[in-house]
Amino acid sequence: MADTTRPINETPAHDAELDRIFELQKKAFAAEPYPVANVRTARLDALIHAIEANETRIIDAVNSDFSNRSRHETLVAEIIVSVSAAKAAKHNLNRWMRARAVATPLHMKPAKSRLEPQPLGVIGIISPWNYPVQLAFSPAAAALAAGNRVLIKPSELTPATSEVMRDIVRAEFDESVMAVITGGVEIGQAFSSVPFDHLLFTGSTSIGQRVYMAAAKNLTPVTLELGGKSPAIIDESADIEAAALSIAYGKTFNAGQTCVAPDYVLTPRGKLNETVDAIAGAARKLYPEIDTTADYTAIITQRHFARLKGLVDEAKGAGAKVIEVGSSNALDPQRKMPLTIVVDPPEDIALMREEIFGPVLPVLSIAGRDAAIDHVNKGDRPLALYWFGNDGAARDEVLRRTVAGGVTVNDTLLHVAQENLPFGGVGKSGIGAYHGEKGFETFSHMKPVLYQSKFASSKMLHPPFSEKTDKLLKMIRKII
């Protein structure tokens, strides 16, 4: 995810309200360290109701923060995805809460082994501006299902949405169970220094590093959902038109302000012009009235808008061909950008070094499959990778030889919406994962327990040692 927040200071701030609610939740967890299934279900129902009953308020608030955010995008990405996460957790809760049997080696039988999920305590969630509701409430659903208390700090760049989130959580939850803390960078700085039992941060790699360092002072376990330059690879076997439509959709949804948006395209050298034309044509089909429609989302702030414009200006100055779908003259006053396709830009410009996080799409011609793989592997490991084609052997080779947080084949974005697939990065694109059962496990301690039998032979290994001990050890060494 692009760098969107000012740096965290070395010396953490102190906030009395944050400290008060954290201590309240710690005490409440100590009094109820293992909520039963019915209690957890009731909390998930409360979260579902908070979102569904306030759908219009949420849509209006997000639209206000963006100055224009597509209603349908908010409905899909904020409301439906968040409710889906909570409902999936509710549906699977009893199964997730069960102890998992683990095989016990022959020489340790008749003992039995289990993994027993145990709530961690108080979970902190720092959510970003680009999907302010989903990236707070989806992990909150997993944390509540796991039996924890939850404290959320939304981004200061979406103040209207943050206020609505705080209000609807207050209406449904006692603050000892779940609460939302609002405020600026100073509160975010203090939040990352709280000794949570687990901290989840979604945002840029640079800020994630600072959050990680602050959490390390308390040895707080962290999940970092970051970003990076996620490639879309078009194979020789691909249907260019179909691939172009998926790529254009993934790049224009939320105006490209998505951590898993395709950041650049690699296409066969002989199909460069066909690919560029197909992506531009697909964007025109998706947004035939792009200059005036409310379906096309604005850039979050003027600062972010200026950054994107600067990336494009540098590419133009370096001699790259630029194709715009939409009129800058019409869109600039709305703080919107055309879908801007940059053809074969040089590798040393900022556009090719930084995560773009907007509707600017470099399309690069590549000599072949090996060259595409090498191009991906020479950079940091991306949060997502997209592959398009009909050659199964080629697909499998690319997936084996590249490392990415997640993959969608012949489409974009959708692996993130599949609640049963873990979502997370690898390397600089993130640490850890959540969604579905993985989310439940992330916010649980999967406690290993060995149940010894009264018929156990382990006492035969106690001193004083004898020839019988040597014989027993010889037998054990044969069967392990």
One-letter-per-residue 3-state SS of 285-352: HHCCCCCCCCCCCCCCCHHHHHHHHHHHHHHHHCCCEEEEECCHHHHHHHCCCCEEEEECCCCCCHHH
221 CB contacts (<8 Å, ≥6 apart)? 197, 198, 199, 215
In whole angstroms, how far apart are CA 228 and each of 71, 106, 320, 347?
27, 47, 22, 16
Query: Cα–Cα distance between 277 and 310 in angstroms, integer?
Result: 24
Tally the residues of the chain. Answer: 480
CA distances in angstroms from 45 to 28, 86, 117, 141, 150, listed in the order given: 20, 8, 21, 10, 15
pLDDT attached to residue 2: 52
User: Residue 8's pLDDT is what?
Assistant: 45
Selection from 438, 447, 432, 2 nearest residue 220 by Cα: 432
Helix (H) or strand (E) holding 186: helix 185-192
State which H helix or E strand residue 469 sits in: helix 467-479
* Confidence (pLDDT) at 437: 96
Active site residue 354: no
pLDDT tens track of the chain, all 480 residues? 654 444 444 445 568 999 999 999 999 999 999 999 999 999 999 999 999 999 999 999 999 999 999 999 999 999 999 999 999 999 999 999 999 999 999 989 999 999 999 999 999 999 999 999 999 999 999 999 999 999 999 999 999 999 999 999 999 999 999 999 999 989 999 999 999 999 999 999 989 999 999 999 999 999 999 999 999 999 999 999 999 999 999 999 999 999 999 999 999 999 999 999 999 999 999 999 999 999 999 999 999 999 999 999 999 999 999 999 999 999 999 999 999 999 999 999 999 999 999 999 999 999 999 999 999 999 999 999 999 999 999 999 999 999 999 999 999 999 999 999 999 999 999 999 999 999 999 999 999 999 999 888 888 889 999 988 898 899 889 988
Location of structure tokens 């709530």 = 119
pLDDT at position 457 is 81
Query: Mind listing the domains of the chain with CATH numbers?
Result: 16-226+430-446 (3.40.605.10), 231-422 (3.40.309.10)
pLDDT tens-place string over residues 286-300 = 999 999 999 999 999
**What pLDDT was estimated at residue 460?**
85
The active-site residue out of 73, 225, 419, 437 is 225
Catalytic residue among 73, 78, 259, 441: 259
Question: What gap in Å lies between CA 244 and CA 265, rounded to an integer?
Answer: 10
121: left (phi over 0), alpha (psi -120 to 50) or beta: left
Question: What does the longest C-alpha to C-alpha distance in the chain come to?
Answer: 91
Cα 452 from chain centre: 41
pLDDT at 15: 86
**Catalytic residue check, 52:** no
State residue 138's pLDDT score.
Answer: 98
> CA-CA distance, 384 to 416, in Å (whole number)?
9
CA 376-135-402 angle, to 5 degrees, is 15
pLDDT digits (tens, 9 = 90+) for 189-232: 999 999 999 999 999 998 999 999 999 999 999 999 999 999 99
Handedness of CA 71, 423, 227, 391 (dihedral sign): negative
135, 167 contact by CB (below 8 A): no
**Per-residue confidence (pLDDT) for residue 480, from 0 to 100:** 87
